[in-house]
Amino acid sequence: MDALIAHPATLGFTFCGSRAAGFATPEADYDGFAYVTREHYRSLDVEATQVLIFAEEGDTPKRVIGDFSLFSDDVLTEALRSPLDIDHWPWVDAVIVADRDGALAAWRDRLAAFPEAHRKERAIHRFIQLVIALHYAISDDVRGFEMDRQINLHRAALAAVHLWFTLRGRWAPPLKWLTREIDRLEIRPDTRAVLEGAVLNPTIEMLTHVRDHMKSDMRHSGITEVDNLRREFFKTLTPERRPAIYRDSYL
């Protein structure tokens, strides 16, 4: 880390991931972002944009203890445009340890900010994904396609999990941190029970219960459009909405 910060092309450095969020296990690696000049970034081979530090030889399996990514303004601009949670969640708790001119702090704040103006649209889209996946699962069950049914039930459960984070105005974490993240956001016991049931026991009955529960949560969040979901689905088929659906499909 010291070597990266001391490099003349490095403009800033920040820690992120589980250690920054506060729920790392003792053996967790250290994740970090090095913010470098555009010229330096473009001069690097793609493998050089990732710096991996491994534990001492003899560890089996081979264990990463440091995972640092190099970014430039170009990379961060693309991340800012991205609708994917993974491009934003790491910045929410990012801890800046070096920032030559303050630009990295500005990037962190912009990347971490949840798009409140689009929260309703994102929530409706995720709910539509949940409903469609459940509908497919029911059709697969009638046709006797067990594998197809289960994969669509898992899709519905995943959509429900992402919907919960959206309703909270939060980016969803990498799913390896799902339990830790919902713990610190203090999920309601009834919501936790239905989401856990959907993930651990994905049945049509369970996902139907999840659908109804999340629909109620959307109403409580003021998203009354959920009561006319057919209209909301049809709106996704209009030309002006198609690009957004392609961009935000979350599949």
**The predicted structure's pLDDT at residue 226:** 95
What pLDDT digit, counting tens, does each position of 175-194 carry? 988 999 999 999 999 999 99
**202 backbone dihedrals φ, ψ, rounded to 5°:** -75, 90
| pLDDT average, residue stretch 95-114 | 96
User: Does pLDDT of 221 surpass 90?
Assistant: yes
What pLDDT digit, counting tens, does each position of 37-49 carry? 999 999 999 999 9
Share of the chain above pLDDT 70, in %: 95
**The predicted structure's pLDDT at residue 248:** 61
Average pLDDT of the chain?
92
- The pTM (predicted TM-score) of the whole model is 0.89
| pLDDT average, residue stretch 107-128 | 93
Domains in the chain: ranges and CATH: 2-112 (3.30.460.10), 117-247 (no CATH)
| pLDDT average, residue stretch 70-76 | 96
- Banded model confidence at residue 57, pLDDT cuts 50, 70, 90: confident
Q: What is the 3-state secondary structure (H, E, C) of the chain?
A: CHHHHHCCCEEEEEEEHHHHHCCCCCCCCEEEEEEECHHHHHHCCHHHHEEEEECCCCCCCCCEEEEEEEECHHHHHHHHHCCCHHHCHHHHCCEEEEECCCHHHHHHHHHHCCCHHHHHHHHHHHHHHHHHHHHHHHHHHHHCCHHHHHHHHHHHHHHHHHHHHHHCCCCCCCHHHHHHHHHHCCCCHHHHHHHHHHHHCCCHHHHHHHHHHHHHHHHHCCCHHHHHHHHHHHHCCCCCCHHHHHHCCCC
